[in-house]
């Protein structure tokens, strides 16, 4: 039996207000502490790192980006590190991340071959490619007894949930149908019986780079 086709989705349309510059364009791998040299131009950005890791198990990568000049900069940053990325412009990024998720869900659902999507906010690039593969395996695993089909697969490290998260077509349809002022966390509560948690040895799933201080703290860690 063939494996279900998965899409990878990067949510990268946010304004990065707290960071003060585009989080999607932050250099990755991160420079190590004590090294004042600027990262080499060939080093990937957060956007490219997310795409490369998602590609470990996802057949196609979607990126939600802002319309206009900001989006063009992200297109350039994603080029050359992985295969083609399907760029989806969000003309109203100020509406928040859930709006970007709704746009992504609608795009993935148009591809009838996709059984699910692995969703990655661009400011959480520290997860390992092996975690994406673990989510895919859990989604593909045979069901036990009369358990309902899996709709959400979440990674956890030492009991704490993180990102990326896998959403099935059924849940993506619910995302599209949800009110514009909704959010994924509240929506997922109604799918608890169809949610699976996968324990992974990957502390990177918990790392969220939201401010310059967050980014500076990571410079000593290096890439995942």
**Phi, psi angles (nearest 5°) of residue 223:** -75, 160
Domain-embedded: residue 223: no
Q: How far apart are CA 140 and CA 176, in angstroms?
A: 23
Domain-embedded: residue 210: yes
Domain-embedded: residue 224: no
pLDDT for 40 equals 46
Residue 131: which CATH number?
A: 3.90.550.10
pLDDT for 37 equals 47
Domain-embedded: residue 88: yes
Q: Across residues 31-56, what is the average pLDDT? A: 70
Overall pTM > 0.85:
yes
Domain-embedded: residue 33: yes
Task: Give the chain's mean pLDDT.
Answer: 85
Model confidence band, residue 18 (pLDDT cutoffs 50, 70, 90): confident
Closest CA to 92 of 130, 65, 129, 111: 65
Residue 151 lies in domain: 5-218
Helices vs. strands in the chain: H and E counts, helices first: 7, 8
pLDDT at residue 150 greater than cutoff 90: no
**Phi, psi angles (nearest 5°) of residue 49:** -65, -45
Torsion of CA 80, 84, 90, 96, to 10 degrees: -80
For 41-45, 107-111, 117-121, 129-133, which range has the lowest pLDDT when averaged over its residues? 41-45
């Amino acid at each position: 039996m063939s494996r279900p086709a998965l899409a990878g989705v990067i949510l990268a349309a946010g304004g990065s207000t707290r960071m003060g510059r585009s989080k999607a364009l932050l250099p990755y791998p991160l420079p190590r502490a004590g090294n004042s040299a600027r990262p080499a131009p060939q080093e990937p950005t957060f956007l490219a790192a997310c795409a490369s890791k998602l590609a470990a198990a996802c057949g196609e990568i979607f990126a939600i980006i802002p319309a206009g000049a900001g989006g063009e900069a992200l297109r350039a940053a994603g080029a050359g590190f992985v295969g083609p990325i399907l760029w989806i412009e969000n003309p109203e990024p100020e509406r928040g991340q859930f709006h970007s998720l709704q746009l992504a869900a609608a795009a993935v659902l148009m591809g009838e071959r996709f059984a699910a999507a692995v969703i990655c906010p661009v400011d959480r690039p520290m997860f390992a490619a092996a975690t994406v593969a673990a989510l895919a395996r859990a989604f593909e695993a045979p069901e036990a007894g009369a358990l309902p089909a899996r709709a959400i697969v979440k990674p956890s490290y030492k009991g704490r949930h993180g990102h990326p998260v896998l959403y099935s077509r059924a849940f993506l349809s619910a995302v599209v149908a949800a009110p514009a002022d909704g959010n994924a966390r509240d929506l997922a509560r109604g799918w608890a019986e169809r949610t699976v948690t996968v324990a992974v040895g990957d502390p990177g799933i918990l790392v969220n780079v939201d401010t310059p201080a967050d980014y500076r703290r990571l410079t000593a860690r290096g890439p995942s």
